Amino acid sequence: MKTSLLLVCTLLVCLYGSALGRRLHLGACALTVHTHELRHHFHQIRHNMLTEDNQKGVRLLRGDMMKNLQATESCCFLRQVLRFYIEKVFNTYTSSHSLHRRTTSVLANSFLSISKDLQACHVQTHCQCNAETMEKSDAIQANYNKLEPAAASAKAIGELDSVLEWLESFRSN
């Protein structure tokens, strides 16, 4: 009896912790992001995005580019990446699968929510952009614009794994 009660309590604590989201520290900006939920939604469509990606030799979001950012640049870069996904990628993506449309809508809404939190940091001057960060953001958009719109959006959504991995690196324990 005690063992089963302990097991139930442990399970509830784990579920409660995952529902809260994680506190991320991007330079001087701290915000709560539900990376677990983002990953869950991404994995629902990941296989399809990778299948639709007919530009295997092209990378929009290079992991080394994100990992080499200074901590002070991370907030600005995330703002730019979220804006890119909200304004370009999710607006362009179309699918005949209702699950994919719903999932990308959930991801877009989540990105919009995170973006609003980042805007508050920006207003408080905790999230300033420098020229190098803007150049990186512009390079992502330039590579995206070189591709046909449907292929570009599928590629960008397929590369969300890199963004989520990068975001998770800012978790505070």
CATH number at residue 121: 1.20.1250.10
pLDDT of residue 95: 85
* Rounded alpha-carbon distances, angstroms, from residue 91 to 29, 94, 95, 157: 27, 8, 12, 12
Question: Is residue 122 one of the residues assigned to a domain?
Answer: yes
pLDDT of residue 16: 41
Residue 110: partners with Cβ closer than 8 Å, 6 or more residues away: 34, 37, 38, 41
pLDDT of residue 61: 87
Per the structure, the count of domains in the chain is 1
Instruction: Give the residue among 56, 35, 71 at the shortest CA–CA distance from 164.
Output: 35
pLDDT of residue 170: 83
pLDDT of residue 106: 95
Question: Is residue 3 one of the residues assigned to a domain?
Answer: no
pLDDT, one tens digit for every residue, the chain (173 residues): 544 443 333 333 344 444 457 888 888 888 899 999 999 999 998 888 888 878 788 889 887 788 888 878 889 999 999 999 999 999 999 888 888 899 999 999 999 999 999 888 888 877 878 898 899 999 999 999 999 998 999 999 999 999 999 988 887 64
Range of the domain at 109: 23-168
Question: Is residue 6 one of the residues assigned to a domain?
Answer: no
Question: Is residue 112 one of the residues assigned to a domain?
Answer: yes
Question: Is residue 123 one of the residues assigned to a domain?
Answer: yes
pLDDT of residue 83: 95
Question: Is residue 15 one of the residues assigned to a domain?
Answer: no
Partner residues linked to 31 by β-bridges: 24
pLDDT of residue 4: 44
**pTM, 2 dp:** 0.83
> Distance (Å, rounded) from C-alpha 78 to C-alpha 163?
9
Question: Is residue 57 one of the residues assigned to a domain?
Answer: yes
pLDDT of residue 5: 40
